[in-house]
Amino acid sequence: MKTFLLVVIATITGIVLLATLGPIILLAISIAIAYYAVRRFILTDSFGGKIGWAIIALIGISLSLSNTAAFVGLVAFTLLYYTYKKWKQPKQDTYEENWVID
């Protein structure tokens, strides 16, 4: 029953992960834009440049925060990862642990 449940969870999360692959890629691009804009904002010296990079950073941050489908995909990815880890765990034999050599 435990194996069946792990297979069902892995199948469902795999489908959700594949369905949200596009939004996850867009999330990565928007986070990269925001990161680059914040770096350039810190490095620039002119007031106009700081305003421009701040606007670009706010656009990147708002794009990443509004991408809820990607967050669902990331949750599905973490659930799939932990399901895989649980699947690959070696089974423990309780008889071997309780057995004592005289």
Digit-coded pLDDT (tens) for 9-68: 888 988 998 999 999 999 999 999 999 999 999 999 999 999 999 999 999 999 999 998
Q: At 101, is the pLDDT very low, low, confident or very high (cuts 50, 70, 90)?
A: low
Q: What's the pLDDT score for residue 35?
A: 97
Backbone angles phi, psi at 75, to 5 degrees: -65, -40
The pLDDT of residue 86: 82
What is the reported pLDDT for 78? 92
Whole-angstrom distance, CA of residue 102 vs CA of residue 96: 14
Contact 34, 60 (CB under 8 A): yes
State the Cα–Cα distance between residues 30 and 78, nearest whole angstrom: 21
Please list, in sequence order, all residues whose beta carbon lies within 8 angstroms of the beta carbon of residue 31, skipping any fewer than 6 positions away: 60, 64
Q: For position 95, what pLDDT does the model report? A: 59
- Do residues 83 and 10 touch, judged by C-beta distance below 8 A? yes
